[in-house]
Amino acid sequence: MVTPDRSKAYHRAGIGETIPSVKCFESRESKDQYYRNTGKSVHVTLMLKLTRNVPVFELGYTQPPNATSDPSAFYDIVGQQRQALALFETQAKLCAKNMPNGGIEMKYMGTSSVARDIDFMTTILDGPDAPINYWGQSYGSILGVYLFNMFPDRIGRGMIEGIANPLLWVTQYSHMWMDNWIQDADKAYKWFLDSCIKAGEAHCAIAKGQGSPESLDNHIEAFIDQVYARPLASPNKADDSNCPPPDPRMCAFT
């Protein structure tokens, strides 16, 4: 949503400047420390009792090779998921601890409130009879569904894309959405492999030396396995650190 002078805009997810604000941590430094300190030791396997650091919040999930066929890999991922749930619960308790009145204002912070904000701002900026023109992607598609249904008489033109599932949004916790998100991921990835080979090295650099979608798939999987065993030094990344296993998988997924 952009104001008439085009110099200011409204971000649906917020920029941390509204009142009341959500401040679950006492300072930015304490928040950064919390996220950096999420590499707790967890059991990788129940048989060998191995432990390792899994910085779920900082780096994302680390999926080992052969995740579906190796029992130890399964327990590795389960351990990371349990850690993530515990960390989310901890963060929620920190919100209640550090925000005024136990964070009671947060009950008024949600998608329906954002839709009301858009209605209110349109009235203030453009007038009570002005139509709301809306374009949203991803979470913005959820917000668009709310907006169109809550204020149908105010909608001028509306478009949503990158559709999220509104039914899951209101009936399930976020960690349960993944099955729906990736149900066509294999099809999309296969299309990418096919298209990359057809385009050739000139238009798809990773096609170099690969003669088929299958060989390209094996090439990418071998690279990810290599990164898992030995993360790459990456001084050109935004955070000047390394390239852990989640990074190439996330690039392939997105």
Number of domains in the chain: 3
pLDDT band at residue 97 using 50, 70 and 90 as cut-offs:
very high
Q: Are residues 34 and 97 in the same domain?
A: yes
DSSP character string of the chain: -B-TTSS-B--TT--S-SSS----SSSHHHHHHHHHT---EEES-TTT--EEE--HHHH---PPTTTTT-HHHHHHHHHHHHHHHHHHHHHHHHHHHHSGGGGGGGGG-SHHHHHHHHHHHHHHHH-TTPPEEEEEETHHHHHHHHHHHH-GGGEEEEEEES---HHHHHHS-GGG-HHHHTTTHHHHHHHHHHHHHHH-TTT-GGGTT--SHHHHHHHHHHHHHHHHHSPEEETTSTTSEEE-THHHHHHHH-
Residue 221 forms part of a structural domain? yes
Domain that holds residue 55: 23-103
Q: Point out the domain boundary residue: 72, 103, 134.
A: 103
pLDDT digits (tens, 9 = 90+) for 48-80: 333 344 456 665 666 666 666 667 777 777 887
Q: Among 161, 181, 201, give the residue marking a domain's end.
A: 181
Same domain, 30 and 93: yes
Asked whether residue 157 carries a pLDDT value surpassing 80, the answer given is: yes
Domain-embedded: residue 117: yes
**pTM exceeds 0.75, yes or no:** no
Of the residues 103, 137, 155, the one at which a domain ends: 103
pLDDT in tens, 169-190: 889 888 788 778 778 888 999 9
